[in-house]
Structure formats: C-alpha cells, structure tokens
C-alpha cells in the first residue's frame, strides 16, 4: 500500500447524497479478476450515456475541475461491500474523499487501499462544496500526521482510527499485522470452550 502523509491539491465537487457503490461502479463491471482498470468505469452511468458518449454536465467530464480529492454529499459509499468501489475511486486517481458521512464497509475498504476518507460536519461540507465549485483552483491541504484538513472553509481536525493512521503513514496493511499474531490465534483455537 502507498504511504500517505501530506497532500496539497485541488478538489472535485460531487454534491450528491447517498452515493451508493452501484453508482461508483455498476455490477456489470465486476467481472474482472484483478484490481486494475476499475477507474475507467468509476461513476460510469453518470459519466457516460448509453452509447458511451461523455455526459458533458457531469463533473468528471468538466475540465474546470480536477485533482486527487473528491468532495461528496452525505452517506458516501452506501450499499454493497464491493471493494471494486474503492479500487475504482483509487484507480481514477483520487487519494482523499471528503464527506459528512461514510458507510462503514466503504470506509474500511478505502483505508485498506490507501484512500483517506475524511468526515467533516454538514456545515463545513456545504461551505467547502460551495468554495471549490466557485473557485476550482482552490487548494486543500490534508496533513494526516496532525489530522488537519486546511481549506478556505477553515482548519478542521478530523478523526481516524489510530491504528489505521499508522498503517496509512507507513503503507502497512492488516495482513502483515494479523500474520504476526499467528501464535496467539492458534492458542485461541486450542483454548476456546464452545
């Protein structure tokens, strides 16, 4: 997993609430057996019409907006457990998603793929969306070490599980950790009484 320490860049506004994983990556694109290529189809049915032509009014097709930070409406990533959604977000080039609420499974999947989900207050989100929509060259800074998001909407201290923070900063993942617990796990299997 790629390390994440600090990032300063522009952001893309997507002010839609309840963006579910079927919108992030429709099921018909889940037939691949590797993790590559999902970025091409992220938000597929909003990005393209049925003939495969770009929908000009969708933000990812608007040259005005670019950057590795996605700022989205409340309850982002609800629905299925498909990690393909996180692979699609990462594959497109997003490293941070900011929203006022994240669905559990998506949040975990994002963290396991080096994407930082940052939860902000609804008021902060509203102001941030307005700012980046009006001024697309606005730069945001995400300092993971100090857990600070800096934007014209203000400096905001965001939360992250301390263990996950260490993983993100060092590029570690859970498998390494769990394997290091092998003896403890085997002892548990021997001891369990039910």
Partner 1 sequence: MAGKTLFDKVWDAHVVDTVPNGPQVLYIDKHLIHEVTSPQAFSELEERGIPVARPDQIVATADHNTPTVDQHLPVRDVLSRNQLKQLTENCEKHDITLYGLGHKYNGIVHVMAPELGITQPGMTMVCGDSHTSTHGAFGTIAFGIGTSQVAQVFASQCLLLTKPKSLRVKVNGKLKPNVLPKDVILYVISKIGTNAGTGYFCEYAGNVFEEMSMEGRMTVCNMSIEMGARGGMIAPDQTTFDYVQGRKFAPEGAEWDKKLEYWKTLPTDADAVFDKEYSFDAEDIEPMVTYGTNPGMGIKVTGTIPDKEDVNLEKALAYMNFKKGESLIDKPINYVFIGSCTNSRIEDFRIAANFVKGKQKAANVNAWLVPGSQQVAKQLVEEGLDKVFTEAGFALRQPGCSACLAMNDDKIPEGEYCVSTSNRNFEGRQGQGARTILASPLMAAATAVAGKITDITKQLN
Rule CB under 8 A: which residues touch partner 1? 16-18, 20, 22-23, 26-28, 30-35, 45, 50, 74-75, 78-84, 86, 101-105, 108-109, 112-113, 161-163, 173-175, 177-179, 181-182, 184-185, 188-189, 192, 194
Rounded to the nearest 5°, which phi and psi values hold at 153?
A: -80, -5
Q: Which residue, 10 or 75, is less far from partner 1 as judged by CB?
A: 75
Q: What is the Cα Rg of the chain in Å?
A: 18
Answer for the pair 99, 78: CB distance below 8 angstroms, yes or no.
Answer: no
Residue 99 Cα distances to 56, 115, 121, 159, angstroms: 24, 13, 8, 13
Q: Which residue, 31 or 56, is less far from partner 1 as judged by CB?
A: 31
Q: Which two tokens stand for residue 194?
A: 């039910």
The distance of closest approach from Cβ of residue 157 to partner 1 in the complex, given in angstroms and rounded to an integer, is 17
The distance of closest approach from Cβ of residue 138 to partner 1 in the complex, given in angstroms and rounded to an integer, is 23
Answer for the pair 62, 88: CB distance below 8 angstroms, yes or no.
Answer: no
The distance of closest approach from Cβ of residue 184 to partner 1 in the complex, given in angstroms and rounded to an integer, is 5
């Amino acid at each position: 997993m790629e390390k994440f320490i600090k990032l300063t860049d522009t952001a893309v506004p997507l002010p839609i609430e309840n963006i579910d994983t079927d919108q992030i990556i429709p099921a018909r694109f889940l037939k691949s057996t590797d993790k590559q290529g999902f970025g091409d189809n992220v938000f597929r049915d909003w990005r393209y019409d049925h003939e495969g032509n770009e929908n000009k009014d969708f933000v990812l097709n608007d040259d005005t907006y670019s950057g590795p930070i996605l700022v989205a409406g409340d309850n982002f990533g609800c629905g299925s457990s498909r990690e393909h959604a996180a692979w699609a977000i990462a594959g497109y080039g997003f490293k941070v998603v900011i929203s006022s609420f994240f669905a559990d499974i998506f949040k975990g999947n994002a963290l396991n793929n080096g994407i930082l989900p940052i939860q902000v207050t609804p008021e902060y989100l509203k102001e941030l969306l307005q700012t980046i929509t009006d001024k697309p060259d606005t730069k945001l800074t995400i300092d993971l070490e100090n857990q600070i998001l800096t934007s014209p909407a203000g400096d905001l201290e965001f939360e992250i599980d301390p263990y996950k923070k260490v993983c993100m900063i060092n590029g570690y993942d859970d498998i390494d950790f769990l394997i290091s617990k092998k003896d403890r796990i085997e002892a548990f299997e021997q001891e369990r009484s039910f």
